[in-house]
Amino acid sequence: MKRPAIMLAVALLLVSFLLMSYRVIWLKYPILPAAPEKVWQLSIDAHVKGGEKETTVMIGVPYTHKGQMVAEERIRSGTLSFNLLREGINQVGVWSGTLSLEGETIGYNSTIRVQPQRLFKTKPSTLEPYPPNVGKEEKALVKRLVAKWESLPPEDRLRRIAAAVKGIWGTPPPDDQDLQAWSAFQEKHSQLDAFLLLLRAADLPAQVVQGLQLAESITDSTLTWIEIWTGQEWESLQPEKGEIYQKPAPLLPLTTNGLPAVRIINGELSEVRWTLNHGIINQWRMHFERIMRSNRLLDRWSLFRLPDEYQRTFRILILVPIGALMICLLRNIVGFPTFGIFLPVLMALAFRNTGLAYGLGIFWGVVLIGYVVRRWIDKLRLLLVPRLSVILTLVIVCITVFALLGNKLGLREFMAVGLLPFVILTMTIERFFVIIEEAGAREGLLTAAGSAGVATITYEILQLESLQLTFFVYPELLFAVAAVQVLLGRYTGYRLLELFRFRRFWSSS
């Protein structure tokens, strides 16, 4: 007897689980869409002035790859046209157009989630040839300098080189002649070039990166560092001090391979500013735009594809079954009496407009007024349908008066009562009256309290933003809710209040 119900519940759970897994694994949905996530808000601003010719500004911007995710990109381009271009492994925002005299302010904003543990595992670059401005002698010199570390593993080679640039060569030191030649080289070239040359000589693939330190900051220049491939991952080296960043390096790369972070053709840039701020958003927002653009079946059939004004409705609607589930729980497991079956859910929906306290107050205010009038009307001996119509009219009058009062007192909540389910109110008044007449005031008040309690709980559930979002992202969770409902439908154990009702059986024994 119980079997088919359990099988149905399992099947429903399975459908729900499979659809969710599909979204998580193939469509890369966040498992907890409402979970907060630490992100960086990057904004790049600049003022461009141009000449008569067309001006082009190119600014390196972050993009989504294995170690980081970029979302919510926003561009300010004024009269200029904007394009995103790939240059090697860089992504460049290109603003171009003819500028007026006063120039144009351009900007780029995005939200970036950095996953440092995966950041530096992209595929290794091959060794670049020596730079052309390095002579044969210099090449031979650096080869001699790093020769004794040849047999060391790449990480150790890197550490030796980092120390050497600071003048610590270890033992045995290179001969004086070479050291002098090296000092001369260092004076002629920058520290950065010295590093690159030594790294090249030691067969370590390296690249120069322009980017930002990941810290709350406003800066007018980017940071330059060297990334070195040590066979397993990228290490980041601070060229001025020769220090290797602790992993994960708190750095946000913008351009690699020595490309400058900002370039301009036919114009002048001023007030270039990079701003980084901490932010916390829910995981879903990081994925939202990608899913909106996706062509996968479930993405196209996502509730997020609905027009905005309908989304609001569905966000709530999709939680109503949970409210129904609550009623199942309270009635069949606990044993609370309520007016009607779904009245508390409708009350809870109405409370969303009025707020809980006002909602409950107005609701029971109307029911009590209605009850008093209903008692009095009873003497008039009106037939059923006309009598209910009178009560309905009374309810509407009450709501209207509340709205007018609210307007005078400046209480918006009172005006929102117009959306209270007036038919439900009417029937509640009638049922309240009948229950009090037939079963006594105690029973009537108990049922009223039960209904209010369930409505409050349901309301609190409907108000949970994170639950709203989770169900909106994964509407298949409704199958899981149905599964629980099916299981509750086969619950044949005692209700909690029955333990009290039949207390004589166990308290006396």
Partner 1 sequence: MILKAIRWLQDVGVLGMNRRNAEYILRFNPRSSFPLVDNKLKTKQLAEAYQIPTPPLYNVIEHHGDIARLEEMLRDHQDFVIKPARGAGGSGIVLVIDHTVDSFVKQNGEVIPLKDLTYHISDILSGIYSLEGLEDRAFIEALVHPDTVFDAVTYRGVPDIRIIVYRGVPVMSMVRLPTRASDGKANLHRGAIGVGIDMGVGTTLAGVHRSRVVTHHPDTNKPVMGIQVPHWESMLFIAAKAVDMTGLDYLGVDLVIDRERGPLLLELNARPGLQIQIANQAGLFKRLEVIDKAPPEIFATPEIRVAWALETFSIRTLN
Chain residues that interact with partner 1, rule: CB under 8 A: 1, 332, 335, 381, 383-385, 434, 438-439, 443, 489-496, 498-499, 501-506, 509
Closer to partner 1 at the Cβ: 26 or 502?
502
Q: Which residue has the tokens 């009172």?
A: 414
Residues in the chain: 509
Closer to partner 1 at the Cβ: 306 or 439?
439
Residue by residue, DSSP assigns 250-280 as: -EEEEEETT--SEEEESEEEEEEEEEEEEEE
How far, in Å, CA of 89 to CA of 50, rounded? 29
Closer to partner 1 at the Cβ: 305 or 375?
375
Torsion of the alpha carbons at 453, 455, 460 and 463, rounded to the nearest 10: -170
Closer to partner 1 at the Cβ: 4 or 153?
4
Q: CB 507 → partner 1: shortest distance, Å?
A: 8
Beta bridge partners of 95: 57, 82
Distances (CA, A) of 247 to 158, 207, 235, 256: 15, 17, 8, 19
Closer to partner 1 at the Cβ: 81 or 509?
509
Q: CB 388 → partner 1: shortest distance, Å?
A: 10
Q: CB 338 → partner 1: shortest distance, Å?
A: 14
DSSP 8-state code for residue 340 = S
DSSP 3-state of 320: helix
Q: CB 403 → partner 1: shortest distance, Å?
A: 30
Q: CB 387 → partner 1: shortest distance, Å?
A: 9
Q: What angle do CA 352, 355, 358 make, to 5 degrees?
A: 130
Closer to partner 1 at the Cβ: 405 or 445?
445
Distances (CA, A) of 319 to 24, 102, 330, 347: 21, 54, 17, 14
Q: CB 395 → partner 1: shortest distance, Å?
A: 18
Closer to partner 1 at the Cβ: 273 or 490?
490
Q: CB 294 → partner 1: shortest distance, Å?
A: 45
Q: Which residue has the tokens 């003819």?
A: 98
In contact, 80 and 96? CB cutoff 8 Å: yes
